[in-house]
Amino acid sequence: MTLETLSNARGVSGNEAAVRDLILDAVREQIDEHTVDALGNLICLKRARPEGAGGEKPLRVMVAAHMDEIGLIVTGINNDGSLSFDKVGGIDDRVLLSKQVLVGDKAVPGVIGYAPIHLIPASERNKAPDMSKAVIDIGAANKGAAEGLVNVGDYVTFHATYQQLDSERLRTARGKAFDDRAGCAVLVELLQGEHPVDLYAAFTAQEEVGLRGAQVAAYRINPDVAIALEGTICDDLPKEEDDDSSPVTQLGQGPAITFMDRSFIADRRLVDLLIHTAEENDIPYQFKQAVSGGTDAGAMHLAREGVPSIALAVPSRYIHAPVSLLSLNDFDHTVQLVRAALSALQGGLPS
Amino acid sequence: MIESTELLRKLSQASGVTGYEDEVRQLVHEAWEPLADEIRTDTLGNLIAIKRGAGDAPRPTIMLAAHMDEIGLIVSAIEGDFLRFSTVGGVDLRTIVGQEVNVHGTESLPGIVATRPPHILTAQERSRVIPLEKLFIDVGLPEETLRQHVQVGDLITMRRDLISLAGEFVAGKAIDDRAGVVSLTVCLDMLRGMRHTWDVYAVATTQEEIGLRGATVSAYGLTPDIGIAVDVGFGKQQGVSDSKIIDMDAGPAIAMGPNVHPKMHERLVATGKQHELKYQTEVIAGRSGTDGWAMQVSRQGIPTAVLSIPLRYMHTTVETICTRDIDRTGRLMALFITGLDEAFGEELGIEKGADA
Amino acid sequence: MKERIRQLVEAYGPSGHEAQIRALIEEQVAPHADKVRTDAMGNLIALKRGSGDGKPVMIAAHMDEIGLVVTYIDEKGFLRFSPTGGVSPVTLVGSRVRFANGTTGVIGWEKWFRPEGNTSRPELSELYIDVGATGRDDTPVGVGDAAGFVRPFEDLGQRLIAKSMDNRISCAVAIQALSEMGETPNDLYFCFTAQEEVGTRGAITASYGIEPALGLAVDVTLVGDTPKARPMAVSLGEGPAIKIMDSGMLAHPGVVRWMIEAAESLEIRYQREVLQGGSTDARSIQLSRAGVPAGCLSIPCRYVHTPSEMVDYGDVQNAVKLLVTLLTGEINL
């Protein structure tokens, strides 16, 4: 399973089946058990290996990556054949203009149009557009024609195709939904190897609408330790000369360790474990240098009696927009760091 | 056969501000007692009626939830002959000016949300919403007597009788979501004459208006296999864009979106079609704001559906509904329940006892 | 008791960084408890066993305090930060903070002594911590480290001032009650919870683990007795407050009744509290598992979430008395 396949797959929150099927196919041979639960989470168990590793009761480690992506949903089919829509998850209205989208399971192509600039009064050209009346145009001549192609309730994804850009230095790649297909791809990679802990790989649903999949998955698994894998904010664009503010993360500087975000405060022991593991294995790392966003760790750390939790992320520019960009070096280093951390957890959580 | 308008009248006119649902709960208890095998109240005051199915034990279970609490006011201070108050739940302060209320002190005291005559206000003052700090309730008693009858923390409800409009429409307070409770009653009543194999938990939930709190704990306690939340939805009215609303007198809206399990939606629609019931569909892109939002993530997750009964003027004292829609909602649920079988359970991957 | 209060309010412990305050509390409760443990979220849970006929009761006083966490260190060694909990920028300019390792810093504002500084309020993004470093390389703290306010405890006689009355005063009340009480029929779980200020998080996992039959938070509440304050019927010095409602929950009516009856039997002053804004651990306890009857005993406090929070010593002493009476009797809601 490549990042490419996962990024190109389509799965807005609440409609993750296509992504889930792809992942299950890719990992089925590597896992001992799996469940698909009521929210649509795919939970895979890979027991500690080789046999006896991790002692009689190996540590139960839940590693979560969310399958869902932000997108749109069709709320109505209008008489002129256009589609009204609502947003699923946090999308900046300004990125919607003039984008290509795919509607429904049959991936019907469409565009989000907006009035030509010629017809917009000068006084409004500098304002953020009002998207409450925007529609998707699939080219249907009228309501009847549209109804033959799409249904109310169809989920809509951005149309963007994965492509590797730079093959040498940062090994950059562009594509949609790196938040969090990058995390899913890391987790699929991890399942190919052996680890001295009982690894509960949770491919979660509905993260973008409130960490809902991870909440019920963590309740079911009741793990000893939890790790959320993410594609996170990277704001390393050029700044004004005297602006020395945080880029949150920087492309190519390694996986980003989250010490706190809006949804949780990381367990200090796990922060230290990741730093120590990275340094010992010469893996580059950075901190997520801002307290922003939320992750599945926010739900997992509050499950039942509480679970020591951490989030680790592949820095991705332009998340929550139609196309994002990451460095495959960061991706590989994330796989390496989590793999080494799972080994380091063999003896249990350090005190 | 349940006379839904009359039951709605009783429930609508009863008091039951969030956290203090005793009076309305008593009335629901009376209505449900003849229809259920067992009835009880849990720690947070949720009323739970159990109607057993005809299948072999252990039987799968469905939870139906409609909230019985209503938004209201609460006394926050006594200042001279007047009461200051806070809101409980999402009260629109613009709608309560000049409103008659009941202050539930040592006895129920009629009161008025005080207004200053427009004559003495400036044009600027008249154009602004009156902030909570400038609103008072007057029960017409001098401070000394007032203090004998009212204390900080006493509840205040809107004083409003249910009235009948044309075309089986009615208007009143707290139809959000006493209409849902009536639809559950209609469902339980219909099920008496029908065979169903699953156990049914009908729950009149508490504290929905301040964060789905009753549904959160009752779903945890009951651990149902599937759930349906019934609440009111935004009915077509003046001044609201068409894409945000559902039609009045067109049956319950069966929701779709992340809060709803696709197979639950499918099965409800199929039930509606099969029995030629009036229904509509609506899309809820994320948080539904109903008890279903809490039920879905209880424990290991519960396949959930959300039904909305169309209602105009939500969170005011003139909430307007078509009683036919209430009956249709109850009927849809009853027919859905009679159709529940083993195959559907398997389709949803229900693992009985998985939580143990 | 004032010495106990001084120790508790001066200790370091922003949300998520409670190790130091937890150690201090553990030392104080250990002699009076049958069992003390720390859970996965860092809650400290001290159990005093009852005679066996009573109920499991959870008493929650959060031990974390509001603070700041370093998010970025610029080239010149100035630290940018995010708040942990409800920190107002108005209280920060010129304030001193301290990190877990003892490093002290002062908070600066980009607009201080600039014309815009005279007409605008500071934004968090315009503030920074100066720890005396000369560059990024010699900062004694790192990204992810947290700081709490530094202020000495002041005893004005009847009124007390400190940086973290919210909620160390309640920790003091709970510890004092535990140390003073005799036999009880109830199993008492004294929880000194973590991460309350970032969303009553510690109480969520603590109450799940304890499965109490009754939950009682002890926390501070706002007052309406200062100049032009938002109207509120709670004043300093009029006795502990019994919470009826706040922005996060409605207390269980049976719990309210139980508390009022106890206060009246003791003939102490008490106040009925309806609070706009804020909530407490009781909010989380109430929603635990299949639901828990929950309420809150509140200590009236002025200037909450500033570095100088003020309480009345009489209210504090009466809160201890009320808590002892509540917990040592038979409980029937």
Residues B251 and B105 in one domain: no
Query: CA-based angle A319:A321:A323, to the nearest 5?
Result: 85
Residues B286 and B342 in one domain: yes
CATH of domain A3-69+176-347: 3.40.630.10
Query: In 3D, which of A194, A167, A180 has the Cα closest to residue A7?
Result: A180
- B79, B86, B213 member nearest C276 (Cβ): B86
User: Which tens digit of pLDDT belongs to each residue from C210-239?
Assistant: 999 999 999 999 999 999 999 999 999 999
Which positions ≥6 away from A333 have C-beta within 8 Å? A254, A255, A283, A284, A285
Cα diameter, chain B? 73
> Per-residue pLDDT for B135 more than 60?
yes
The pLDDT value given to residue A56: 87
More confident residue, C127 or A53: C127
Residues B271 and B225 in one domain: yes
- A206, A210, A219 member nearest B300 (Cβ): A219
The pLDDT value given to residue B351: 62
Tokens 């009320």 belong to C322
- How many beta carbons lie within 10 A of that of residue B200, not counting itself? 26
> Per-residue pLDDT for B350 more than 80?
no
Which positions ≥6 away from A83 have C-beta within 8 Å? A74, A76, A77, A103, A110, A135, A136, A137, A138, A146, A150
Please give the mean pLDDT across all residues of chain A. 94
Question: Of 3.30.420.40, 1.10.3720.10, 3.40.630.10, 3.40.1350.10, which CATH number belongs to C2-65+163-328?
Answer: 3.40.630.10
Closest CA in chain A for residue C210 = A305
User: Which tens digit of pLDDT belongs to each residue from A163-176?
Assistant: 999 888 999 999 99
> Per-residue pLDDT for A53 more than 90?
no
C211, C244, C298: best to mutate for the B interface, most B CBs within 10 A: C244
Is residue B10 assigned to a domain? yes
- End-to-end alpha-carbon separation of chain A, Å? 36
How far apart CA A120 and CA A169 sit, in angstroms, is: 44
A33, A35, A73: best to mutate for the B interface, most B CBs within 10 A: A73
Per-residue pLDDT band for B353 (boundaries 50, 70, 90) equals very low
Which positions ≥6 away from C45 have C-beta within 8 Å? C36, C37, C38, C39, C189, C190, C191, C192, C206, C209, C210
> Per-residue pLDDT for A124 more than 90?
no
Closest CA in chain A for residue C209 = A305
Partner B contacted by C244 (CB < 8 A): yes
The shares of helix, strand and coil residues in chain B, as percent rounded to the nearest 5, are 30, 25, 40
With beta carbons under 8 A apart, name residues in chain A contacting C43. Answer: 306
Partner B contacted by A24 (CB < 8 A): no
Which residues of chain A from 31 to 50 reach within 8 Å of chain B, CB to CB? Answer: 35-39, 41
H or E element: which one contains B87? Answer: strand B82-88
CATH 2.40.30.40, chain C: domain bounds: 67-149
With beta carbons under 8 A apart, name residues in chain A contacting B297. Answer: 39, 212, 215-216
Which residues from C are below 8 Å from A when comparing CB atoms?
A: 15-17, 39-41, 43, 69, 71-72, 74-76, 80, 82, 84, 143-144, 195, 198, 201, 204-206, 208-209
Residues A252 and A165: beta-carbon distance below 8 Å = no
Phi-psi category of B348—alpha, beta or left, where left has phi over 0 and alpha has psi -120 to 50?
alpha
Cβ within 8 Å, pair B133-C276: no
The pLDDT value given to residue B354: 40
Burial of C51 (0-12, 13-18, 19+ CB in 10 A): exposed
CATH topology for C67-149? Elongation Factor Tu (Ef-tu); domain 3 (2.40.30)
* C183 among known catalytic residues: no
The pLDDT value given to residue A1: 60
With beta carbons under 8 A apart, name residues in chain A contacting B257. Answer: 14, 73, 88, 153
CATH 3.40.630.10, chain C: domain bounds: 2-65+163-328
> Per-residue pLDDT for A126 more than 90?
no
Residues B134 and B253 in one domain: no
- How many beta carbons lie within 10 A of that of residue B270, not counting itself? 12
- B242, B283, B300 member nearest A37 (Cβ): B300
Residues B62 and B122 in one domain: no
Is residue B53 assigned to a domain? yes
Give the phi and the psi of residue C245 in degrees, each rounded to 5. Answer: -160, 150
Residue A2 half-sphere exposure, CB side, CA atoms within 13 Å?
9
Residues B212 and B322 in one domain: yes
Residues B132 and B254 in one domain: no
Architecture of domain A71-158: Beta Barrel (2.40)
**Distance, CA of B342 to chain centre:** 31
- A75, A87, A89 member nearest B243 (Cβ): A75
> Per-residue pLDDT for A117 more than 50?
yes
Torsion sign, CA atoms C193, C199, C203, C205: negative
> Per-residue pLDDT for C289 more than 90?
yes
Per-residue pLDDT band for A119 (boundaries 50, 70, 90) equals confident
Residues B85 and B225 in one domain: no
H or E element: which one contains A214? Answer: helix A212-221
H or E element: which one contains A325? Answer: strand A324-327
Closest CA in chain B for residue A213 = B297
More confident residue, A214 or A123: A214
Angle between helix B4-13 and B175-191 (nearest 10)? 140
How far apart CA C145 and CA A273 sit, in angstroms, is: 16
Cβ within 8 Å, pair B285-A41: no
Tokens 């864009």 belong to B241
Which of the listed residues B132, B158, B184 is the one where a domain comes to its end? B158
Question: What is the domain range of residue B144?
Answer: 72-158
The pLDDT value given to residue B266: 96
**Distance of residue B222 Cα from the nearest chain A Cα, in angstroms:** 16
Q: Which residues of B336-348 are buried (b: 16+ CB within 10 A; e: fewer)?
A: bbbbbeeebbeeb
Strands C79-84, C67-73: parallel, antiparallel or unpaired by DSSP? Answer: antiparallel
Task: Read off the pLDDT of each residue in B18-23 and give the average, rounded to a whole number.
Answer: 96
Catalytic site residue from B21, B70, B208, B209: B208
How far apart CA B203 and CA B42 sit, in angstroms, is: 10
Residues B183 and B288 in one domain: yes
User: Which tens digit of pLDDT belongs to each residue from B190-241?
Assistant: 999 999 999 999 999 999 999 999 999 999 999 999 999 999 999 998 888 7
Residues C272 and B151: beta-carbon distance below 8 Å = yes
Partner B contacted by A303 (CB < 8 A): no
Chains that touch A (3 or more CB pairs under 8 A): B, C
The pLDDT value given to residue A332: 97
With beta carbons under 8 A apart, name residues in chain B contacting A39. Answer: 296-297, 301
User: Which tens digit of pLDDT belongs to each residue from B56-115?
Assistant: 889 999 999 999 999 999 999 999 999 999 999 999 998 898 899 999 999 999 999 998
Lowest mean pLDDT among A73-82, A110-119, A319-328, C283-292: A110-119
Instruction: Indicate the number of domains in chain B.
Output: 2
How does DSSP assign A46-100, residue by residue? E--SSTTTT-SS--EEEEEEE--B-EEEEEEE-TTS-EEEEEES---GGGTTT-E
Cβ within 8 Å, pair C40-A268: no
Partner A contacted by B346 (CB < 8 A): no
Closest CA in chain A for residue C74 = A244
The pLDDT value given to residue A267: 96
How far apart CA C167 and CA C63 sit, in angstroms, is: 6
Residues B14 and B119 in one domain: no
Residues A94 and B292: beta-carbon distance below 8 Å = no
Is residue B221 assigned to a domain? yes
**Distance of residue B67 Cα from the nearest chain C Cα, in angstroms:** 16
% of chain A surpassing 90 pLDDT = 84
Task: Read off the pLDDT of each residue in B255-260 and give the average, rounded to a whole number.
Answer: 96
Is residue B355 assigned to a domain? no
Residues B146 and B294 in one domain: no
Domain boundaries, chain A: 3-69+176-347, 71-158
Residue B13 half-sphere exposure, CB side, CA atoms within 13 Å?
11
Residues in a beta bridge with B158? B101
Query: In 3D, which of A265, A267, A273 has the Cα closest to residue A338?
Result: A273
Q: What ipTM did this prediction achieve?
A: 0.92
H or E element: which one contains A147? Answer: helix A143-147
Partner C contacted by A99 (CB < 8 A): no
Instruction: Extract the runs of DSSP E, i.e. beta strands, from chain C.
Output: 35-38, 44-48, 56-62, 67-73, 79-84, 96-99, 104-109, 127-130, 146-149, 154-155, 159-162, 187-193, 214-221, 241-245, 271-274, 294-300, 309-312
- A265, A287, A305 member nearest C143 (Cβ): A287
With beta carbons under 8 A apart, name residues in chain A contacting B349. Answer: 35-38
User: Which tens digit of pLDDT belongs to each residue from B288-339?
Assistant: 999 999 999 999 999 999 999 999 999 999 999 999 999 999 999 999 999 9
> Per-residue pLDDT for A189 more than 90?
yes
Cβ within 8 Å, pair B88-C250: yes
Residues in a beta bridge with B232? B309
Residues in a beta bridge with B201? B50, B63
Cβ within 8 Å, pair C82-A290: yes
The pLDDT value given to residue C194: 98
Task: Read off the pLDDT of each residue in C274-295 and give the average, rounded to a whole number.
Answer: 96
Which of the listed residues B110, B127, B158 is the one where a domain comes to its end? B158
Which CATH number characterizes residue B81's domain?
2.40.30.40
The pLDDT value given to residue B123: 84
Which positions ≥6 away from A123 have C-beta within 8 Å? none
With beta carbons under 8 A apart, name residues in chain C contacting A308. Answer: 40
**Distance of residue C251 Cα from the nearest chain B Cα, in angstroms:** 8
Residues in a beta bridge with B306? B229
Please give the mean pLDDT across all residues of chain C. 96
Lowest mean pLDDT among A48-57, B176-185, C28-37, C201-210: A48-57
Strands B304-312, B226-234: parallel, antiparallel or unpaired by DSSP? Answer: parallel
Is residue B242 assigned to a domain? yes
Lowest mean pLDDT among A89-93, B102-106, C67-71: A89-93
